[in-house]
Structure 1
Amino acid sequence: MKTIESYIVTINQHMDAIATSAREQSVGLSEVNTAVNQMDQVTQQNAAMVEEANAAGATLANEASRLRGLIGQFQLGASASYQPASQRAAAPVAKAGAKSAPVASPARSMMGKIANAFSAKGSAAVAVSNDSWEEF
């Protein structure tokens, strides 16, 4: 009887270990299930965003095509023709030489003429002095 009792105690201990392991596996599987569900939600959100980006790209392409058509209606002259900026050659920039000198600003002389015109008629306009302007 004592031998049978010891076997029964051993079997009960094994059954408890199996039950404990089953509970731990159940918790682990529940966590895996939660993670898979979250990944599924994120995947669905990404798919929706890809569809939106695709639709926005198609709309942008249509608008660009429509804009190209509208621009094509402008007459640029006989010698001028439309070229994308990427195909145009950059105009060379000349370096300033030793003989280069600053030129009087046409805006400065125009401001003087305008000031004289208003002050000659007795207006309350303030005359602009050429000394107050700085050359850039």
Structure 2
Amino acid sequence: MQPTKMHLKVLLPSEVLLDKKNVSHIVAETSDGAYGLLPNRLDCVAVLTPGILTFTDLDDGEIFVAVDEGVLVKTAHDVLVSVRSALIGSDLDTLRVAVEQDFMALDEQAQQVRAIMAKLESGFLHRFANFEKI
């Protein structure tokens, strides 16, 4: 009898976000559309686009993972998903709120980085102008 479950790991740059061993199917969004993975599907590699990865765990039911861009690799019954950032939710409404809050925090950080970069560039230009006068 062939196995009817997969081992799913979601990897972030700093940690293993998710490690589930009783996954019956996975749906992931790629640049070519959504891909459904079943345990006996051929091995594959797919480039993921930002979106929702959905999987069914035989113990916990349907689970949603909001993912940033990354890559999915399926070998035998192991599926590795490596992304920059991801959030897990048991329902889409809760996940949507969490994603909005996460993006707002990232937007604030991006604004701070832009302000710091503007100050650095301005300081560099002033020093360069003074250097030209010498």
TM-score normalised by length of structure 2: 0.32
Q: Structure 1 or 2: larger strand share?
A: 2
Judging by fraction of residues, say which structure has more helix.
1
Report the TM-score when normalising by structure 1.
0.31
Higher relative contact order (CA 8 A, sep 6+): 2
Which structure has the larger Rg? Answer: 1
